[in-house]
């Protein structure tokens, strides 16, 4: 089996409290992994540590294809949309992307156009971000995360607060990125129904610990049984 990501014994302590407590997980190449857990369970902290935004108190994050590579190189292979996308609202979507590209040494309008096309914003790229709906901002956030063609994409609550069309747009993009571009992903969400449409395998997080990893088929079965129990009651 070809693996992409290795997370080993990751912990993060704030004061005396563990936000993440000894989490280990491996991701296969091309897998979409869902993180589920109640508020404060540790999902965002785990994604922030994997992306390099937060330093762990203990443990390691590595990409198998880049063993021995510098931390900077490894982090450059990871795209993130964590919490609100960092967008300049007075700039157009195109200029937001152009800025990110220039930071990575990319100066190619065609490249920007291709990313806008993936997220379906090619016709709206000259609008200022402040004119964008929440769904469009999330799609632009995904586009920003795609600059540099990451191997791994981390999406933290990407559909939170979106209307049904916005949720479908994000779902379609996620599935396209996975199927057509082979991008491996971790997605956190509270909306289990939606995750079941996208994710291959789930990690259930509680109080900073990875309680259980479960396949989509197993989780569907549990959910169905649960619904049956509720109906009978």
Q: Give the binding site for ligand ATP (CB under 6 A).
A: 14, 19, 37, 39-45
Q: What's the closest the beta carbon of residue 173 comes to ligand ATP, in angstroms?
A: 22
Q: Can you give the C-alpha Rg of the chain in angstroms? A: 18
What is the rounded distance in angstroms from the CA atom of residue 163 to the CA atom of residue 44?
Answer: 22
The smaller minimum CB distance to ligand ATP, of residues 101 and 185, is found at 185
Least Å distance, CB 181 to ligand ATP, is: 26
Q: How far is the CB of 191 from ligand ATP (least distance, A)?
A: 12
How distant, in Å, are the alpha carbons of 46, 99, 154, 159 from that of 67?
A: 21, 30, 20, 33
Q: How many helices (H) and strands (E) would you count in the chain?
A: 8, 9
Q: How far is the CB of 46 from ligand ATP (least distance, A)?
A: 7
Residue 165 burial (10 A CB sphere; 0-12, 13-18, 19+): exposed
The two beta strands, 32-36 and 201-206, are: parallel
Nearer to ligand ATP, 49 or 147 (CB): 49
CA 25-29-33 angle, 5° bins: 50
CB of 37 to ligand ATP, least distance (A): 5
Q: Which is nearer to ligand ATP, 97 or 210 (CB)?
A: 210
Q: Closest CB to ligand ATP among 125 and 189?
A: 189
**Residue 187 β-bridge partners:** 34, 155
- Rounded (5°) CA angle 69-72-78: 95
Which CB sits closer to ligand ATP, 31 or 83? Answer: 83
CA–CA gap between residue 121 and residue 136 (Å, rounded)? 8
Q: Which residue has the tokens 């993440």?
A: 20
Nearer to ligand ATP, 106 or 214 (CB): 214
């Amino acid at each position: 089996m070809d693996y992409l990501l290795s997370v080993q014994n990751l912990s993060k302590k704030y004061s005396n409290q563990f936000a993440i407590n000894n989490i280990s997980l491996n991701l296969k190449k091309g897998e979409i992994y869902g993180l589920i857990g109640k508020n404060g369970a540790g999902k965002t902290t785990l994604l922030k540590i994997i992306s390099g935004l937060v330093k762990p108190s203990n443990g390691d994050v590595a990409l198998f294809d880049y063993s021995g590579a510098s931390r900077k190189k490894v982090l450059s292979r990871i795209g993130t949309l964590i919490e609100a996308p960092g967008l300049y609202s007075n700039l157009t979507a195109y200029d937001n992307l152009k800025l990110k590209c220039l930071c990575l040494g990319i100066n190619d309008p065609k490249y920007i156009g291709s990313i806008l096309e993936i997220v379906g914003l090619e016709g709206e790229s000259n609008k200022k971000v402040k004119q964008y709906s929440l769904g469009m901002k999330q799609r632009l956030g995904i586009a920003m995360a795609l600059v540099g063609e990451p191997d791994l994409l981390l999406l933290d609550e990407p559909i939170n607060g979106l209307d049904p069309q916005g949720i479908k747009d994000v779902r379609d993009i996620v599935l396209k990125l996975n199927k057509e571009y082979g991008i491996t992903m971790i997605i956190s969400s509270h909306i289990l129904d939606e995750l079941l449409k996208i994710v291959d395998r789930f990690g259930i997080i509680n109080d900073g610990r990875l309680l259980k990893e479960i396949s989509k088929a197993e989780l569907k079965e549990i959910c169905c049984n649960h619904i049956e129990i509720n109906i009978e009651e």
